[in-house]
Chains A and B, each alone.
Chain A
Amino acid sequence: DGGITQSPKYLFRKEGQNVTLSCEQNLNHDAMYWYRQDPGQGLRLIYYSQIVNDFQKGDIAEGYSVSREKKESFPLTVTSAQKNPTAFYLCASKRGLYHETQYFGPGTRLLVL
């Protein structure tokens, strides 16, 4: 089955710890995105990547980092500099420049111990 997978489903972070969220897609999509969802707020864009080895900051990139070494993978690291990391993190992908629709993965819920 083609789709987007995110792991783990739940992740717990201790103070001062960096954690990495996985996002993999087998849709052969070029662009990938990371969003953060908080209760009562719309999805907010953290980072996005349109091609391998290239990525851009979104609206709330501080305290996060990403890499795009392979077309199918776009991991997100939540660093210790992110002071309020508790949220639902969503990864999305889109086919290419002339295709607009983004498709989402199942999400990872990050909680702070």
Chain B
Amino acid sequence: EDQVTQSPEALRLQEGESSSLNCSYTVSGLRGLFWYRQDPGKGPEFLFTLYSAGEEKEKERLKATLTKKESFLHITAPKPEDSATYLCAVQAKETSGSRLTFGEGTQLTVNP
């Protein structure tokens, strides 16, 4: 059974204080790992897809990296507008319908 564990559950940062969110996963052959951002009361917004160990992707202050067991979402010099819940999901190679398995998310708060 595919599993995704995100840590920490919640993270409070001061504006400009860089940090990382963790997504540990077990899957029977990874097809893709996905990061989403979700604001309260809204649908998840797609951020990144990573396919293989060693791959990195960047977008503004966010950088996602992938190893064979985990992914990190690095946030550099965060701003209050980066406050949101960040969701990680995996898709297995042999899954039907391209279904995703999600973690519970990390709730990030950036204080000014």
Contact = CB atoms under 8 A, between A and B. Distances in A.
Contact of B98 (A41, A94, A103): A94
A40 interface: yes
Interface string B20-56: 0000000000011010100001111110010000000
Interface in A42-74: 42-45, 48, 50, 56, 58
A107 B41 contact: yes
Interface residues on A, range: 20 to 34
B43 A100 contact: no
Contacts of B41: 88, 107, 109
Interface string A81-113: 000000010100010010011111111010000
Interface of B: 4, 31-32, 34, 36, 41-46, 49, 87, 89, 91, 96-105
